[in-house]
Amino acid sequence: MSQLNLCLLRWQWGCLLVCSMLYATQVSAKSMPFNLTEGVTDISQQVYDLHMTIFIICCVIGLVVFAAMFWAIIHHRKDKGAQAAQFHENTKVEIIWTAIPFVILIGMAIPATKTLIAMEDPSNADLTIQVTGSQWKWHYKYFGHDVEFYSLLASRQDQIHNQKKKRENYLLEVDYPLVLPVGKKVRFLVTSEDVIHSWWVPAFAVKKDANPGFINEAWTRINEPGIYRGQCAELCGKDHGFMPIVVIAKPQEEFDLWLAAQQQKAIEAKAEEQTMLAMSMDMDEMMQLGEQVYNKHCAACHQPNGEGLAGVFPALKGSQMVTQDVAAHIDIVVNGKSGTAMQAFAKQLTLKELAAVIGYERNAWGNNTGDVIQPAQVKAAMQQKDQ
């Protein structure tokens, strides 16, 4: 009776598993690889080979041990009339099964050591990227090339909260991806502004912790052009799951063009700043732009409704700073507040965006101060400090 029940039980479980699999496949069509990526660098290929070697060795050992065990389970059972032998030691056997694993381990350690030394070879980098993590975005700086930018999650809050359909690369897409040349040795100088993050791109087999106050190095040489995606791999607070990494690898000539264009853009942006100063936004324009900026940069902590999270992130709705003291409000958005998660947005946003978001906060969610903030005001507040 109980045997039958057990059979039934297993059958039911099998059905449940199959059903759940079927159900799940309907949710999304994009398939997941079931093994480690081979990646697009020589190192990542070596890592993959090492992974497979050790995996197969483990499988073989497991097979032998479990075969012996299940042989005993099937043949040496009491209900088959098995009489228990009484042996309880055998020095020779015990030495053998201590020695054999030892030899296997040495066999594993040799290729592992070689790969590790190749990974940590510090010589002759062609390009240096300073990678800086902060809660919860990456900042990239091309060392010696005057190009730097922040890279933020591009999936929107309404996708995260299931109000809009999620895009194909949901949570693995950023606004400004890192662009790297193919075939050149790239060096990453990794550090952090606040907590520990970890910069990980599986296709390069690079994972390096970003430690505040210290720099770490990692190297890669990409073999194929393409788009490669990764994520922060060290718990770094609330939005740890929302700070992806996207790298676009381009052939050298394309990369050079891109880099030149970025340098040009940086110059143009400075010029544009001048025109912005003369610009004046009306309430509607400010609120529209402000809302966009707010949702992208501020809503993760202060929440889309401006109410923050009690005890963690302060509310903006009805807050004294936001409804009254304009100067302090501009100051905290522009310069951040040390020792907290509030960061300086001066370098992350344009003057117009800064003005819009500050103005938006002063008028949204019933704050209704009626203040319209202009880029020139923000600039003036910054300059006050510079003088």
| Nearest CB to other proteins, comparing residues 279 and 344 | 344
In total, the chain counts a number of residues equal to 387
What distance in Å separates the CA atoms of residue 130 and residue 301, rounded to the nearest whole number? 26
Smallest gap from Cβ 349 to other proteins, in A, equals 16
Tell me: does residue 321 bind other proteins (CB under 8 A). Answer: no
Who's near 17: CB < 8 A, 6+ residues apart?
A: none
Choice between 88 and 270, CB closer to other proteins = 88
On the CB side of 373, CA atoms within 13 Å amount to 31
Nearer to other proteins, 190 or 249 (CB): 190
Residue 378 C-beta: closest distance to other proteins, Å: 15
What are the distances in angstroms from CA 144 to CA 148, 189, 234, 246, 259? 10, 13, 29, 22, 12
Residue 11 lies near other proteins (rule: CB under 8 A): no
Residue 377 lies near other proteins (rule: CB under 8 A):
no
Among 128, 295, 350, 369, binds other proteins (CB under 8 A): 128
- Supply φ then ψ for residue 16, to 5 degrees: -60, -40
SS3 167: coil
5/320 with CB nearer other proteins: 5
Q: How far apart are CA 278 and CA 327, in angstroms?
A: 20
Asked whether position 116 contacts other proteins by CB under 8 A, the answer is: yes
Between 21 and 278, name the residue whose CB sits nearer to other proteins.
21
- Answer yes or no: are the C-beta atoms of 136 and 240 closer than 8 Å: yes
Considering only 15, 63, 109, 260, the residue that binds other proteins (CB under 8 A) is 109
Name residues whose C-beta falls within 8 Å of residue 383's C-beta, 6 or more positions apart in sequence.
Answer: none
**Choices 51-59, 245-253, 256-264, 352-360; region in contact with other proteins by CB under 8 A:** 51-59
Look at the block and give the residue holding tokens 């030899």. Answer: 103
Q: Which of residues 12-41 bind other proteins (CB under 8 A)?
A: 13, 16-17, 20-21, 23-25, 27-28, 30-37
Strands (E), 242-333: 244-250
320 touches other proteins (CB under 8 A): no
- Asked if 160 touches other proteins (CB under 8 A), the answer is yes
Among 251, 260, 324, 337, binds other proteins (CB under 8 A): 337
Q: Could you identify the residue written with the tokens 């790239």? A: 186
Q: Which of 4, 253, 270, 338 binds other proteins (CB under 8 A)?
A: 338
277 binds other proteins (CB under 8 A): no
Residues binding other proteins: number (CB under 8 A): 143
The minimum distance between CB 289 and other proteins, in angstroms, equals: 25
Which residue, 223 or 231, has its beta carbon nearer to other proteins?
231
Which of positions 188-247 make contact with other proteins (CB under 8 A)?
189, 191, 193-196, 198, 200, 202, 205-209, 211-217, 230-242
Closest approach of other proteins to the CB of residue 288, in Å: 26
Instruction: Annotate each residue in 342-361 with x if it binds other proteins (CB under 8 A) or - if it does not, as one string.
Output: xxx-----------------
**Interactions with other proteins, residue window 83-102 (CB under 8 A):** 83-90, 93-94, 97-98, 101-102
**Residue from 51, 61, 150 nearest 100 by CA:** 61
Q: Which is nearer to other proteins, 264 or 384 (CB)?
A: 384
Is the CB of residue 365 less than 8 Å from the CB of residue 354? no
Question: Which residue type does 69 have?
Answer: M
In this structure, how many other beta carbons lie within 10 angstroms of the beta carbon of residue 21? 9
Orientation angle between helical segments 351-363 and 252-278, nearest 10 degrees: 60
Of the residues 2, 282, 366, 370, which one makes contact with other proteins according to CB under 8 A: 2
CB of 331 to other proteins, least distance (A): 9
Phi/psi for 64 (5° steps) reads: -65, -50
**Distance between CA atoms of residues 370 and 364, nearest Å:** 10
Q: Taking contact as CB under 8 A, which single stretch among the options 42-50, 174-182, 271-279, 371-379 is the one that binds other proteins?
A: 42-50
For 229, the token pair is 């995606």
Q: Is 112 in the site for other proteins (CB under 8 A)?
A: yes
Residues 19/25/26/27 CA torsion (nearest 10 deg): 110
Q: Is 124 in the site for other proteins (CB under 8 A)?
A: yes
